[in-house]
């Protein structure tokens, strides 16, 4: 039903209701028919579901299978279960699951804590009598009463409006409260301009009114959006896909190598099938980077903790990677780029244009004529008029914090007066209000009458400049009243037009003095024009620099707003957003192909509806961009859900928007987005480093194991391999996850969708450096064989760990990170060395089948010189060769991220 285009009598006829509301009996019948006025998102936190989701990765499944095989061996005749290996594998898998679960569960709990409830009660007319009822029990046909500060409990058509203004920014993106009317509108009227309707969850900022409920629950505009988001498919990031594919490739590689080794052992060495089976488990352990899932989870979780400290709450760990890949940020204007606080920035009085400094609701500011500060005394009456013809209030709460209550436009007028030391409370005591004619959309003006002294009254008017001028016969110039001329009017109209072209909202002001006895019909006649006050919702101070940083990082920022195009362009100009500007009606007439072309050259989209916003997003994604969508409103929710990284506002954001998002900004600040992108890039860079580190290690392990097996030797036991993969590799890898950001992290181009963690450079480094390591490690192993297999295994075991620690320095050198720039990495390296020495020279070695290098009972390096010399020589040679190979590969393979 097009409720906005119906005449009021037809609205009541369709709803079978009247201005006195429904009877209680009829309301009860309709409640059974229409159901409760509720929106159930059905996204309750399920701890079990979150926990189980941690174990669905293919690599995790392979690890669990390997652990079960290790235990199952014990059921074969004459064999023992490998409980140590199985225990280590299951412990790391479980620890990884717990780690991921805690992070995601905490994020969901934090989100729940941010929720603000919809109105619990609503005032209605039932049978002509006022009643408070549960908002959930409202039905179509109910008459609701609208009062300042109250949330609207359902969608409704207004039939009585007294200076009724609503803040609809969370639904439409309109930054200025919308004045409501009662008359019917054209059928084709834009959603944002249906000013005879009120919508669920919007807020009454001033005035009073009555409206008849037209839609409830999921049929409301909020409900329709929530329904679109109901039971959505979970987004899968490129990195999640890549990690899953990596697990499958490793699994396939394991099968191929195991089959090859098994055939070699049977055909060349006539090995026992059971020994081959045990060897297969060891090879599987060598091939799988057991610590990778844990390290990935750790890096993401530690990164998200940093983000929380910077006011960005990450709801899903995997979304961090998407944030680091972002190429385009589509952002709402109101409250995200701007303060969401109207601020008077210019005055026109005495034929002069005066600039007003200060932004937001800060009470400090100056009045400048050009660059010269001037005394506000000469336009004091203009500021007094704005403060007295006003229903807003500034107060101080019990915590000594300023509270601003009322229409944002009127608050801006109080603030401009305060900058001239004109306190509205003192003025109200000096000039108490005795009468008023409230603002309405039809009248476009407000008038108040104040007692001036025993003998007279003061009348103040504010409103649309052209309307105020119609009621003026005089003008105040240099403190003196004179007759207003046609030239004066033209000058005022020209100044008004110039202000409006700068996207300023302009109000005109007038006054007159009169006797104590007056006729109300003459109140608006013969007024004296005082001047203009022009205001705007200003950009946040830090946003312009954040956009510069984004641009340097190769990230486009696009404003997508429900506000008018003049305001959007003016704010865009101040923020340095260059490019084309389009309105929602332009998008409406475009094909998908046309829109996909236009989004590449358009920086500002104004007067957009939720469907337009979604089309803009889809067009950018169709052009293969990774897109972040920011917003706080209900209108943003579908696009937030569909974006690669949906970023909702935590303070002003609606429940629907936050539920649809991946990340919630706790301070609603665009700068936080830029910092979160930087953190996301750092996390991705660190993930790439430790993936490179772990896979080089695993390639070397597999190749050493493989070539040794061709000669009939078991190079390392499964427990030794697990020790390397989980602890002596795992700890440095975790520490790599908290490496500091490279200085140029926000100078690099976005990696985009096509750039993978394992790109050409990483793949070459894994293959080449892994092969160099294999040659050196095989040399260590075969050099130690003359002293027995146990010594050879112990030398290889130690050589692997030392070579991997050298590799850390080589990998970090690519980003010019200092040796001691990461204290956790230094501690991890020291801990790995100490643990390895403990395995060699304490009874702990019995669990891993190692022997001390040198004579028993003597100190390290005083004996066993031959073994240690061999190890260090080949490790050093490998490191030198790896450094040279790395420099060549880096030079030959430039990368974006």
Distance separating alpha carbons of residues 549 and 807, to the nearest angstrom:
33
Instruction: Measure the CA–CA gap between 322 and 24, rounded to whole angstroms.
Output: 53
Query: CB-hemisphere CA count at 13 Å for 839?
Result: 23
Residues 6+ apart with CB under 8 A from 362: 415
Out of 332, 563, 636, 662, which one is annotated catalytic? 332
* First-last CA distance in the chain: 52
Q: Quote the CA–CA distance of 15 and 211 in Å, as a whole number.
A: 12
Biggest distance spanned by C-alpha atoms of the chain: 121
Q: What share of the chain is helix, strand, coil (3-state, %, to 5)?
A: 50, 20, 30
Q: Do the beta carbons of residue 879 and residue 810 sit within 8 Å?
A: yes
276-295 burial string, b = 16+ CB within 10 Å, else e? bbbbbbbbbbbbbbbbbbbb
Distance from C-alpha of 652 to C-alpha of 114, rounded to nearest angstrom: 10
Contacts of 241 (CB under 8 A, 6+ apart): none
Helix (H, G, I), strand (E, B) or coil at 315: coil
**Rg for the chain (alpha carbons), in Å?**
36
d(CA 676, CA 682): 10
Report the half-sphere exposure of 232 (CA within 13 A, side-chain side). 21
DSSP string, 573-619: HHHT--SEEEEHHHHHT--HHHHHHHTTTEEEEES--HHHHHHHHHH
Can you tell me the distance from the alpha carbon of 247 to that of 260, in angstroms, rounded to the nearest whole number?
20
Is 832:731 a contact under the CB 8 Å cutoff? Answer: yes
Query: Known catalytic residue: 632?
Result: no
Name residue 472's beta-bridge partners: 527
Torsion angle of alpha carbons 312, 314, 319, 324, nearest 10°? 30
Residues 6+ apart with CB under 8 A from 564: 503, 606, 607
Residues 122 and 204: beta-carbon distance below 8 Å: no
Which residues, including other chains, have CB under 8 Å from residue 866's CB and lie 6 or more apart?
none
Closest CA to 170 of 637, 646, 666: 637
Q: What DSSP letter does each residue of 724-785 carry, written as one string? A: IIIIITHHHHHHHTTPPPPTTTTTSPP-TTT--SS-HHHHHHHHHHHHHHHHHHHHHHHHHG
Of 685, 646, 652, the C-alpha closest to 669 is 652
- In whole angstroms, give the CA distance from residue 708 to residue 712: 7
CB contact burial 481-491 (16+ within 10 A = b; e otherwise) = eeebeeebbee
CA angle 575, 341, 432 (to 5 degrees): 145
> If DSSP codes are grouped into helix, strand and coil, which group holds residue 389?
coil
Beta-sheet pairing, 328-331 with 143-146: unpaired
Rounded to whole angstroms, how far apart are CA atoms 404 and 164?
Answer: 19
Provide the annotated active-site residues.
332
């Amino acid at each position: 039903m097009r409720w906005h285009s119906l005449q009021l009598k037809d609205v009541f006829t369709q709803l079978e209701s009247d201005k006195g509301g429904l009877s209680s009996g009829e309301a009860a019948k309709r409640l059974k028919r229409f159901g409760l006025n509720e929106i159930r998102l059905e996204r309750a936190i399920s701890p079990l579901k979150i926990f189980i989701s941690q174990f669905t990765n293919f690599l995790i499944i392979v690890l669990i299978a390997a652990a079960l095989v290790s235990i199952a061996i014990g059921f074969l005749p004459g064999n023992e279960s490998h409980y140590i290996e199985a225990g280590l594998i299951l412990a790391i898998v479980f620890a990884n699951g717990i780690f991921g679960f805690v992070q995601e569960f905490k994020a969901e709990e934090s989100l729940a804590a941010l929720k603000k409830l919809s109105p619990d009660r609503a005032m209605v007319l039932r049978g002509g009598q006022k009643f408070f009822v549960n908002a959930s029990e409202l039905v179509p046909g109910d008459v609701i009463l609208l009062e300042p500060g109250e949330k609207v409990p359902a969608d409704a058509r207004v039939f009585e409006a007294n200076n009724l203004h609503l803040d609809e920014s969370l639904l439409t993106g309109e930054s200025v409260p919308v004045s409501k009317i009662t008359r019917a509108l054209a059928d084709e009227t834009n959603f944002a301009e249906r000013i005879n309707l009120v919508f669920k969850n919007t807020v009454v900022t001033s005035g009073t009114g009555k409206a008849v409920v037209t839609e409830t629950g999921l049929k409301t505009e909020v409900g329709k959006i929530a329904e679109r988001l109901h039971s959505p498919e979970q987004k899968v990031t490129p990195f999640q896909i890549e990690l899953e594919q990596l697990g499958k490739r490793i699994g396939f590689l394991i099968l191929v190598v195991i089959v090859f080794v098994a055939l070699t052992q049977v055909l060349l060495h006539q090995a026992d099938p059971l020994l081959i089976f045990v060897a297969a488990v060891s090879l599987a352990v060598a091939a799988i980077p057991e610590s990778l899932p844990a390290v990935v989870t750790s890096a993401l979780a530690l990164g998200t903790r940093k983000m929380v400290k910077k006011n960005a709450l990450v709801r899903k760990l995997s979304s961090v990677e998407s944030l680091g890949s972002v190429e385009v940020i589509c952002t709402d204007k109101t409250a995200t780029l701007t303060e969401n606080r109207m601020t008077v920035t210019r005055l026109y009085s005495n034929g002069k244009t005066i600039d007003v400094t200060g932004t937001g609701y800060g009470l400090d500011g100056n009045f400048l004529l050009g660059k010269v500060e001037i005394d506000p005394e000469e336009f004091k009456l203009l500021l007094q008029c704005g403060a007295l013809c006003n229903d807003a209030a500034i107060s101080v709460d019990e915590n000594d914090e300023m509270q601003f209550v009322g229409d944002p436009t009127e608050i801006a007028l109080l603030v401009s007066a305060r900058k001239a030391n004109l306190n509205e409370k003192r003025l109200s005591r000096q000039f108490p209000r005795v009468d008023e004619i409230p603002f309405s959309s039809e009248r476009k003006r407000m008038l108040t009458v104040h007692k001036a002294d025993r003998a007279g009254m003061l009348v103040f008017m504010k409103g649309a400049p052209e309307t105020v001028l119609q009621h003026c016969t005089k003008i105040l110039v240099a403190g003196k009243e004179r007759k207003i001329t046609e030239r004066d009017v033209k000058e005022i109209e020209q100044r008004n037009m110039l202000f409006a072209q700068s996207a300023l909202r302009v109000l005109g002001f007038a006054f007159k003095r009169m006797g104590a006895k007056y006729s109300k019909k003459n109140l608006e006649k013969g007024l004296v024009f005082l001047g203009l006050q022009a205001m705007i919702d200003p950009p946040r101070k830090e946003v312009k620099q954040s956009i510069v940083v984004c641009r340097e990082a190769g990230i486009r920022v696009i404003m997508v707003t429900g506000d008018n195009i003049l305001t959007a362009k003016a704010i865009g100009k101040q923020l340095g957003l260059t490019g084309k500007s389009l309105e929602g009606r332009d998008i409406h007439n475009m094909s998908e192909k046309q829109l996909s072309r236009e989004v590449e050259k358009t920086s500002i989209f104004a007067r957009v509806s939720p469907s337009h916003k979604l089309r803009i997003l889809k067009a950018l994604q169709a052009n293969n961009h990774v897109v972040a969508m920011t917003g706080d409103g209900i209108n943003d929710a579908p696009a937030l859900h569909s974006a690669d990284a949906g970023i909702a506002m935590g303070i002003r954001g609606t429940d629907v928007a936050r539920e649809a998002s991946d990340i919630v900004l706790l301070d609603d600040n665009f700068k936080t987005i830029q910092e979160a992108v930087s953190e996301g890039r750092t996390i991705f860079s660190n993930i790439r480093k430790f993936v490179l580190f772990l896979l080089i290690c695993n390639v070397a392990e597999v190749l050493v194991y493989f070539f040794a097996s061709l000669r009939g030797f078991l190079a390392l036991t499964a427990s030794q391999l697990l020790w390397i993969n989980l602890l002596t590799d795992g700890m440095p890898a975790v520490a790599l996850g908290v490496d500091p950001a490279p200085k140029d992290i926000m100078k690099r181009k976005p990696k985009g969708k096509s750039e993978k963690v394992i790109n050409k450079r990483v793949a070459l480094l894994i293959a080449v450096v892994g092969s160099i390591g294999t040659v050196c490690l095989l040399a260590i192993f075969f050099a130690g064989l003359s002293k027995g297999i146990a010594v050879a295994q112990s030398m290889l075991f130690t050589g692997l760990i030392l070579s991997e620690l050298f590799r850390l320095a080589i990998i970090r050198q690519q980003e010019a990170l200092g040796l001691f720039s990461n204290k956790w990495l230094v501690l991890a390296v020291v801990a790995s060395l100490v643990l390895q020495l403990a395995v060699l020279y304490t009874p702990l070695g019995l669990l891993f089948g190692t022997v001390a290098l040198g004579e028993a009972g003597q100190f390290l390096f005083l004996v066993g010189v031959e073994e240690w010399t061999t190890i260090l020589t080949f490790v050093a040679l490998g490191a030198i060769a790896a450094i040279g190979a790395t420099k060549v590969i880096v030079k030959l393979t430039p990368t974006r991220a």
